[in-house]
Amino acid sequence: MSQEKKKCNKDNCFHAISQNGEEHDSHGHKWSDISVRKIVKRNGEDYHVHVCKHPLKSLEVNYAGMTQTLECGEGEELYQAIRGRVVLTHEKKHDLEVGRVIGKVKDNKICEEYLLDGIIKKVIPTQVVDN
C-alpha cells in the first residue's frame, strides 16, 4: 500500500490501521486472514467474534453508503463481520447479505457494537449491557 492514507472507497469494505501504522483493507486482505475467532461475552451470553490478529489503532467499515469507525484503546480488540439472512425460494437456499457489524472487545466482553443495516440504511448502535 502506498504511503498516502487510503480509505475504504467501495460500498462494502473494511480499513484497519495497526498500532505500528501498517494498513490492512479488503482490497488486499480477507478479514479471515488477519483475524482469529474468539469467544467473548455479550450481554452475559457467549458470543463468537473474529478479532483482528494485529493490535489496531482503528477500524473503519463501509457498507451500502454508511460508514462506522472505531478507535482502539489499550487492552481493546476490534472486530467486524458480514450480517446475512438465509432465504429459501423454490426449494433453493440463497445467502443474502443484509449488513455489517463492527465492535470492540475489552476484558473478553463486548463493550461497543454497531450494525450497519443495509435494509433500513441506518447505523444502529447495539445495546450492550454491563456483563
pLDDT, one tens digit per residue, over 70-111 is: 999 999 999 999 888 777 788 788 777 789 999 999 999 999
Report pLDDT digits (tens) over 17-45: 999 999 988 888 889 999 999 999 998 99
CA distance 103 to 89: 32
Instruction: Provide the sign of the torsion angle of the four alpha carbons 17, 20, 23, 28, taken in this order.
Output: negative
In the structure, how many helices (H) and strands (E) does the chain have? 1, 10
Beta-ladder partners of 109: 41, 106
Query: Of 113, 105, 23, which is closest to residue 72 (Cα–Cα)?
Result: 105
CA distance 15 to 58: 8
Q: What's this model's pTM, rounded to 2 decimal places?
A: 0.83
- Give the three-class secondary structure for 89: strand
